[in-house]
């Protein structure tokens, strides 16, 4: 018995070793440097077995192989490539989109809420993205601004009534606002913004790095066939809460026949038109409640936490940089005075310093640390003439490029002047991409930015901030895709006008 067990273990170890050799040889044969730590599972293997966030592991590779345009990495049986050079990154995300349109995950059919624009691929993604886009146009955003402004004003009242929230866990507190604002965009607002909603727990727990989540995410990211074979799901636990809630809001809106310019309106409109069709491929989809619920779910999971992280990091930097804080307070106060103590959509667009602070904070602390794609047809990356085969997993850095001294002098220094209207002309799109790039660029880029800014102007009109950092430099929590500092917090202090 023991002998059989030993043979089995020995066999498995030999297979593991051979997969590592295969991965290494695959890239070496093509003249590509291979990352030798964890040859089988690559950075994902290191992530699973350490307490570090995945973006930090990619950042080590980025720095170690500073002159390489790409680095081959282990990803079980799949070839996988860390594409570092910004020209190659642009090629993957934008120029050769047709070869890299896939997100890099294939969710299983039973995972109803994963059937959303973030995770689906191919013609299905194209059709759904097309149908969701009208919710995020500039005109639509203007008509939805009232929802964000209302949530932001209600948030200030909410904080004033709960002084215990002014100190301790500012990130969670800010997420109550972003959750209410995304909720308002999905469901509309009735009497007041809802800060204590069960959807907040859902949004924050969807990517919580528990052991079960990490393993499921790792298998999904490493090998689609294995993920399918094991019939794994990641969002199953949220179906019971979320699908009936969306069904009810659509029914109510159909009966009410009023326009609120939110996601529920879009659902009613899509349902009234019936079958959705992609004319190029002929693909037809029904706008079922489940399919629409999955899209709304993606706005929560992709919107609440990143916007909360962005607001948190902006405030962290303002609290550490008193001159910037003072200048922004002045810009906000002047604007409130100019517009009779109200904050309009146009007033926010006019605020140049707010924009500079926003972009610089997102450069230093992009809420998402790297992007994923998968090659869907054989192609070549221009820098290094790298041949990429169909099926290859691709990872492209955001954090590392934002912190590379080749692109930003003194990258660890918070300097909003980099993004002044004059200086930002010199910043290349390929080196600033907190919202991703290309046709799979964040669908909520304008929505998330406006929502964050609306929250910040109302907050900073009434509060100032103090940053408490425990030690020099930022430490980050173990997360799959997010960049979340853990050794820092922000305190809100009421201002006396």
Is residue 249 within the footprint of ligand HEM (CB under 6 A)? no
Tokens, residue 450: 């406006």
Is residue 397 within the footprint of ligand HEM (CB under 6 A)? no
Calpha distance 461→496 (Å, rounded): 10
Is residue 367 within the footprint of ligand HEM (CB under 6 A)? yes
Find the shortest distance in angstroms from Cβ 59 to ligand HEM.
Answer: 16
Find the shortest distance in angstroms from Cβ 61 to ligand HEM.
Answer: 19
Is residue 310 within the footprint of ligand HEM (CB under 6 A)? yes
Tokens, residue 148: 């964000």
Is residue 485 within the footprint of ligand HEM (CB under 6 A)? no
Which one of 71, 219, 325, 368 is in contact with ligand HEM (CB under 6 A)?
A: 368
Find the shortest distance in angstroms from Cβ 471 to ligand HEM.
Answer: 26
Which one of 55, 171, 299, 312 is in contact with ligand HEM (CB under 6 A)?
A: 299
Q: Up-side HSE of residue 158: CA atoms within 13 Å toward CB?
A: 21
Which one of 59, 173, 233, 307 is in contact with ligand HEM (CB under 6 A)?
A: 307
Nearer to ligand HEM, 40 or 44 (CB): 44
Calpha distance 319→313 (Å, rounded): 10
Window of 60-68, 217-225, 364-372, 462-470 that interacts with ligand HEM by CB under 6 A: 364-372
3-class DSSP state of 82: strand
| Residue 233: strand pairing partners | none
Find the shortest distance in angstroms from Cβ 313 to ligand HEM.
Answer: 10
Q: Which helix (H) or strand (E) holds 430?
A: none
Strands (E), 64-165: 70-73, 80-83
Q: Which of the residues 66 through 95 are near ligand HEM (CB under 6 A)?
A: 93
Is residue 448 within the footprint of ligand HEM (CB under 6 A)? yes
Nearer to ligand HEM, 40 or 234 (CB): 234
Residue 397 and residue 417 in contact, taking contact as beta carbons nearer than 8 Å = no
Q: Give me the helix-helix angle, 289-320 and 122-132, nearest 10°.
A: 70
Nearer to ligand HEM, 32 or 264 (CB): 264
Is residue 117 within the footprint of ligand HEM (CB under 6 A)? yes
Contacts of 289 (CB under 8 A, 6+ apart): 243, 246, 247, 250
CA dihedral 19, 24, 26, 30 (to 10 degrees): 180
- Count of residues binding ligand HEM (CB under 6 A)? 28
**Residue with token string 């030999």:** 14
Nearer to ligand HEM, 20 or 448 (CB): 448
Find the shortest distance in angstroms from Cβ 467 to ligand HEM.
Answer: 19
| Residue 387: strand pairing partners | 380
> How many residues in total does the chain contain?
497
Which one of 41, 61, 182, 361 is in contact with ligand HEM (CB under 6 A)?
A: 182
Give the β-pairing of 386-388 and 70-73: unpaired
Residue 128's alpha-carbon distances to 69, 74, 253, 262, in angstroms, are: 34, 32, 21, 17
Q: Which of the residues 410 through 439 are near ligand HEM (CB under 6 A)?
A: 434-438
Tokens, residue 468: 């408490």
Positions in the binding site for ligand HEM (CB under 6 A): 93, 117-118, 129, 182, 298-299, 302-303, 306-307, 310, 367-368, 371, 434-438, 440-444, 447-448, 452
């Amino acid at each position: 018995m023991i002998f059989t067990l030993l043979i089995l273990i020995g066999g498995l170890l030999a297979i593991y070793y051979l997969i590592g050799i295969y991965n290494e040889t695959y890239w070496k044969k093509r003249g590509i440097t291979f990352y030798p730590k964890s040859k089988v599972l690559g950075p994902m293997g290191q992530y699973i077995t350490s307490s570090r966030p995945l973006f930090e592991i990619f950042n080590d590779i980025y720095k170690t192989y500073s002159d390489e345009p790409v680095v081959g990495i282990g990803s079980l049986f799949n070839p996988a490539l860390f594409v570092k050079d910004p020209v190659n990154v642009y090629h993957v995300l934008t120029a050769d989109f047709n070869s890299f349109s896939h997100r890099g995950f294939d969710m299983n059919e039973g995972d109803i809420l994963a059937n959303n624009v973030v995770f689906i691929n191919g013609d299905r993604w194209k059709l759904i993205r097309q149908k969701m886009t009208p919710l995020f146009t500039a005109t639509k955003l203007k008509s939805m601004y009232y929802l964000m402004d209302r949530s932001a004003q209600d948030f200030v009242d909410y904080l004033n009534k709960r002084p215990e929230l002014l100190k301790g866990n500012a990130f969670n507190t800010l997420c109550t606002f972003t959750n209410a604002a995304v909720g308002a965009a999905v469901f509309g607002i009735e009497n007041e913004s809802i800060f204590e909603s069960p959807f907040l727990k859902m949004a924050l727990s969807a990517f919580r790095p528990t052991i079960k989540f990490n393993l499921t995410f790792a298998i999904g990211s490493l090998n689609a066939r294995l993920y399918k074979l094991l019939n794994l799901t990641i969002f199953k636990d949220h179906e019971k809460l979320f699908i009936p809630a969306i069904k009810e809001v659509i029914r109510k809106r159909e009966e009410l026949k009023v326009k609120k310019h939110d996601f529920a309106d879009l659902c009613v409109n899509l349902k009234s038109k019936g079958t959705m069709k992609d004319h190029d491929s002929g693909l037809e989809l029904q706008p079922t409640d489940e399919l629409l619920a999955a899209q709304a779910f993606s706005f929560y999971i992709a919107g609440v936490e990143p916007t909360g992280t962005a607001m948190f990091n902006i405030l962290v930097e303002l609290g550490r940089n008193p001159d910037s804080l003072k200048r922004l307070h002045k810009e906000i106060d002047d604007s409130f005075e100019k517009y009779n103590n109200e904050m309009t959509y146009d007033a926010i667009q006019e605020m140049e310093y707010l924009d500079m602070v926003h972009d610089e904070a997102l450069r230093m602390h992009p809420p998402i640390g790297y992007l994923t794609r998968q090659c869907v047809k054989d192609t070549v990356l221009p820098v290094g003439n790298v041949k990429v085969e169909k099926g290859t997993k691709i990872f492209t850095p955001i954090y590392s490029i934002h912190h590379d001294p080749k692109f930003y002098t003194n990258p660890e220094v918070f300097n909003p002047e980099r993004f002044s209207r004059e200086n930002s002309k010199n910043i290349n799109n390929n080196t600033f991409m907190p919202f991703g790039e290309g046709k799979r660029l964040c669908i909520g880029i304008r929505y998330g930015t406006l929502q964050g800014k609306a929250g910040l102007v109302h907050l900073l009109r009434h509060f100032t901030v103090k940053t408490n950092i425990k030690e020099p430099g930022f430490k980050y929590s173990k997360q799959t895709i997010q960049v979340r500092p853990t050794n820092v917090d922000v305190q809100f202090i009421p201002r006396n006008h």
